Structure 1
Amino acid sequence: MELEQYISTGIIESFLLGLATPDEVAELQRMRLRFPALETEIAAVERRMENAAFEEAVMPPARVWEGIQQHLNWESSFRDEKLSDEERKHYTFISMQPKEGTYISVHRSWKIILILFFLLSKLFLVGFLYFYFKSQSLQDKLNEARHPQTTAATR
């Protein structure tokens, strides 16, 4: 009964997943020596976990394999070069060829439209400020004309 209780604690799963503490691993090793049937249970749990992993496996996209192949081809060409170990440490690979669809291109007409929009916005800003300050000065003159005694007292 002690073995069944020990198995039901989930220690085998923790051990196989690498989540067991060093004390739990040591205890499991002692139990393996005491109970040889524990070996078959460990193998069965390992098979169940493996089957579950294969049943729920998701295949990676094809571009992942292409990237791995490209890396392997680069590594093999790198090994063929006659470089010292010190030179290899500082060797970097920079791809100068842009991949298809990795950059944005803008048509010339959009550049011209953007420049015109920018210039017009600045022109409108200057016009707005000019007319705003002109309106304020006219408002002040109008207030002074309506109430000449209050504006003279404030000076």
Structure 2
Amino acid sequence: MELAQYISTGIIESYLLGLATKDQVAEFRLMRKLYPALEMEIALVENRMEKAALGEAVPPPSRVWEGIQQRLNWKSTQQQEEEDERRKHYTFINMQPKEGTYISVHRSWRPIVIAIVVLCKICLVAAVYYYFKTQVLQDKLEDMRQQQNVTVPR
């Protein structure tokens, strides 16, 4: 198929409008690689389509554009006022890190953390102690029950 016949089939218009099938698109891309002159034809078709779209365009009434501008101006002034109002209530805290790459903690927290760790260890030791003490008492109670069952005649 010659390039002129291929162009006259309307494939360029179909491709640009997105109406071409997958096979047609694949074929068109192959033809673009084979024939560099096709790129110029694509640009011409795009210009024709753009001129046709702009030539037949209906401009909106002027009152519509004025209404849009009023809304935009109203929103921008309203947003500016809201932003100014928010800025009045901001509190800025300047937090700049000290020299070094570590996090520093106030000295008064050190004894508090040590006390919490010691308290946790004491609670852990107490829990283990009372657990084993309870186990021993339960074993004694079980032994006493077995002795009573054996020694008591019926």
User: Could you say which TM-score interval applies, normalised by the shorter chain?
Assistant: 0.3 to 0.5
TM-score (norm 1): 0.45
